[in-house]
Amino acid sequence: MHRTAVLTILLSILTLAIPAAGLTDTSVADTLDDIEYLRLAPEEAGLTAQQALAREGWQPLAGQTPNFGYQDDIFWYHLSLPAGESPLILLIRYPHLDDIRFWPLSNGQPGEIVRTGDRLPYDQRPLDHPNFLFPVERDADADNGILLRIQTQGAHHVPMELWEPQALYARLSKEDQLHSLYYGTLMTIILFSLMVFAGLREKIYLYYLATTASFLLLLASLRGVTYPVLWPDSPTLQNYSILIALPLAAISIVLFSRKFLGLNRIGGWIQHSVQAATVLNLFALLGVAIFDYNLSIWLSVSIALPTCLLLALIGPILWVRGHPQAGIYTLAWGALTIGSLITSANFYGLLPNSFITTYGVQLGSTFQALVLTAALAHRIYRERESRTRSREAELAALSAQRRAEQRSLDQAMREPLTHLPNRTCFEMNASEALNLKPGKRWAVCVLRLNNLAAITKTLGHRNSDRLMELVALRLHRIARDLPGIQVIGPRDEDCLAVLEPATFAYLLDAGAANSNPRRVAQGMEQLREPIDYLGMQLPLDSCIGVALYPTHGQDLNTLVRQAYVAQESAIAIEKGLAYYDPARDPYSPERLTLVTELRNALENNELALWYQPKQCLRRKEIVGVEALIRWPGRQPPVHADQLIALAEQSGLIRPLTRWVMERALEAREVLLEAGLDLTVSINISPNNLRERDFPLFVQRLMASHQQHQGRLILEVTETSMMQDPDNSMRTLRSLDYAGIPLAIDDFGSGYSSLSYIKQLPACEVKIDRSLITDLLTHTDDRIIVKTTIDMCHNLGYRVVAEGVEDGETAALLLEMDCDMIQGYVLARPQPLADLIEQLRSEDVPSMRSGQC
């Protein structure tokens, strides 16, 4: 835009310069040296040509161009024509004369009058031209001359030239070309501004348009061109057009300058004087409607001139002050000022006629218009650039903001210590993977470092943090190489997430992992390698739990929970890896409803105790029964171990055991009534041993059932006591002190220390079924059982073999000196009434003492 504008200026100047070269040397047909004039007051308007010629007072004109300023007097001019017979044309190069009367003179006698002027319709002109042209015939034999009578309201300025027609037409055509070029240039600028304004909607282009348009109107009116072109029938409009064009041009130039130079922001006297100029020019414009022509002209000019002077001054002043736009403004305005001054000087005869002096205003205004157009074009360019820059800055700010958001999002998605993706990130990405490829089989794996807490306690938090980082690095390396590993974070290398401290998770494509079990095994192997830290070889005690999609769960939340459960399972602890098993899930939702059901069953007395007899081997007598919990009618059935595990997990074990004890005592009452004085064994959970008031409860219960004292045996498993040896021992001692017989249940199923067993205040040891089942076939079992029996006897315990299913085993046990047996060989657990029935029918005599 900028460059094109500069080019346009250069081109225009060139095109102006070409015809200019042809204009400077045009020749006037002849000089008019001896002009005489007669000046008369307006009252003598009625004078005829003859009377005027006859009047006294004619005097020679100094110079060639009458110039009498503003007045109403009537001027008569007498011109002598050179001898010859070719026709000539008188040209009055000033189109604003109101009333011109023309007579050709032949030997001093006026011929036919020609009347014209800009107060008369245009078509009355003898020749069609904005200036006044009068053709003159010459008589070769006569003395030829011209008589003119001119009266005008404006400036009485009558520049006369005498031309040979052909030379004149050639000259006028050249001038017209020049002017057309000038008008064309201004019109182009007007259209350009209009388009720019339409596009940008910025007032400055509108003001510039108005400036150029009013200037065009002013100069065209001054030259009289508007008259034939715009309103040939209305001399009034023609006269008004000059009156209006001047203040209009002044106002629009002031408005434009204000905007262009940002004068409003500058303040001070400049701003005030410019404001005053606007108001005054507006006043002059309104004055056109109020005052008469002369006054209006005088007013407009006397306001417009100082306005122009002011604007011409402001430019250099601001330029000196360093205003960035002022230089170009000064140049533009200076060109117009100089052009106008030159033309004015020529107008008043101070400068000779030449192309530059004649067209000074046009040249100046063209130059001004072009410079300002270029400046405005440059301004558009600059504004676009600054808009681009601000848009760029905006974009940069936006992308910085995006980056910051991304960073904080990234931070929100990472665990701060290891910088691995966190739980949120894992859940988001892994569930997306599941949703995107629902046809695939997925393995959600949760890995937990069990010994981290111990390490933290040993080495302190700082070391444990550092160790965590090392571990995370190692785990990440292992996970990355697993077959079927999935990306679960924003970065490609994100394949391991941290769910909680020391708990990690990853997602595998189960199909891919299955097809390469060796690699998975390798990974597991690497996992076990100890970590070298501070010169120590720290082992990683890790458990992995795996939940499979879609086998175990449909959504990630469930799968993660299941992998957690699997990771906590005994199998995982033992083998390092376990798959989720719904049957072993103590936290499954079904469990929750089961707990509620169990609580209700307990409260509504829906649970039952079944009884299994215990026989003294030597005497073949039933000596006692064991009470075993049942949930009759529950569908699907819940096994005793399951029910007890559930009660233990839910805290229901406390009321349950107490309920069992009370029912067991009632049962013993019934047995006694049936003539069966048997011991009743009940099972106690390790949780019960932790209840502070448990011994007290038992003591109170027994105190209120004195008849059963010493006949209710509490069975406690060996492994359960090992969970909390000190507390268990204390409780058992206080029970023993209260005279409650105790039995060690499931003996041989765990790894209890003999020294501990030795201290237990028990009277009976029940050898676990696992050792009895294969007694006939397994020699090892036989050795163990025999050793156990002997050892227990040495320690003073009676021995019960559990799970005896056949007579041979019973016989073998008798041989081994076992005291009692319990098992299907005698009876299955059954309701008390059934048991009593069975015992009666078999007529099994029970020992009164219940002792073996």
Encoded tokens for 329: 């403004």
Rounded least distance, CB 801 to ligand C2E, Å: 10
The string of DSSP letters for 542-558 reads EEEEEEEETTT-SSHHH
Measured distance CA(28)–CA(17) in Å, rounded: 21
- Pick the stretch among 311-319, 389-397, 438-446, 799-807 that binds ligand C2E (CB under 6 A): 799-807
Rounded least distance, CB 700 to ligand C2E, Å: 20
- Which residues are paired to 260 by β-bridges? none
- What does the radius of gyration of the chain's CA atoms come to, in whole angstroms? 62
Q: Site mask, Ca ion, residues 403-422, x = CB under 5 A?
A: --------------------
- Pick the stretch among 360-368, 639-647, 723-731, 733-741 that binds ligand C2E (CB under 6 A): 639-647
Minimal CA–CA distance to 24: which of 16, 32, 33?
16
DSSP-derived 3-state class of residue 831: coil
494 interacts with Ca ion by CB under 5 A: no
Q: Which residue is nearest to Ca ion (CB)?
A: 715
731 interacts with ligand C2E by CB under 6 A: no
DSSP-derived 3-state class of residue 404: helix
Q: How many CB atoms lie within 10 A of CB 754?
A: 8
Q: Site mask, ligand C2E, residues 191-210, x = CB under 6 A?
A: --------------------
Binds 824, which of Ca ion, ligand C2E, none (CB < 5 to 8 A, cut-off by type)? ligand C2E
Measured distance CA(449)–CA(377) in Å, rounded: 73
Binds 480, which of Ca ion, ligand C2E, none (CB < 5 to 8 A, cut-off by type)? none
Q: Site mask, Ca ion, residues 799-838, x = CB under 5 A?
A: ---x------------------------------------
723 interacts with ligand C2E by CB under 6 A: no
Rounded least distance, CB 585 to ligand C2E, Å: 19
Rounded least distance, CB 540 to ligand C2E, Å: 35
What is the footprint of Ca ion within residues 134-193 (CB under 5 A)?
Answer: none
685 interacts with ligand C2E by CB under 6 A: yes
Output b/e per residue, 289-319; b: 16+ Cβ within 10 A. eebeeeebbbbbbebbeebbebbbebbeebb
Question: Which residue, 472 or 682, is less far from ligand C2E as judged by CB?
Answer: 682
DSSP-derived 3-state class of residue 103: strand
What is the footprint of ligand C2E within residues 599-618 (CB under 6 A)?
Answer: 612
640 interacts with ligand C2E by CB under 6 A: yes
Question: Which residue, 149 or 630, is less far from ligand C2E as judged by CB?
Answer: 630
Among 235, 421, 489, 823, binds ligand C2E (CB under 6 A): 823
What is the footprint of Ca ion within residues 691-720 (CB under 5 A)?
Answer: 715
Output b/e per residue, 360-396; b: 16+ Cβ within 10 A. bbbbbbbbbbbbbbbbbbbbbeeeeeeeeeeeeeeee
Rounded least distance, CB 808 to ligand C2E, Å: 13
What is the footprint of ligand C2E within residues 504-543 (CB under 6 A)?
Answer: none
803 interacts with ligand C2E by CB under 6 A: yes
CB 819 within 8 A of CB 798: yes
H, E, C per residue of 340-384: HHHHHHHHCCCCCCCHHHHCHHHHHHHHHHHHHHHHHHHHHHHHH
Among 746, 764, 781, 819, binds ligand C2E (CB under 6 A): 746
Q: How many CB atoms lie within 10 A of CB 117?
A: 19
- Pick the stretch among 268-276, 282-290, 516-524, 677-685 that binds Ca ion (CB under 5 A): 677-685
Rounded least distance, CB 819 to Ca ion, Å: 15
Distance from the Cα of residue 762 to its chain's centroid:
74
The residues near 657 (Cβ < 8 Å, ≥ 6 apart) are 682, 684, 685, 688
Site residues for ligand C2E per CB under 6 A: 612, 628-629, 639-641, 644, 660, 682-685, 715, 745-746, 769, 802-805, 822-824, 829
Site residues for Ca ion per CB under 5 A: 683, 715, 745-746, 802
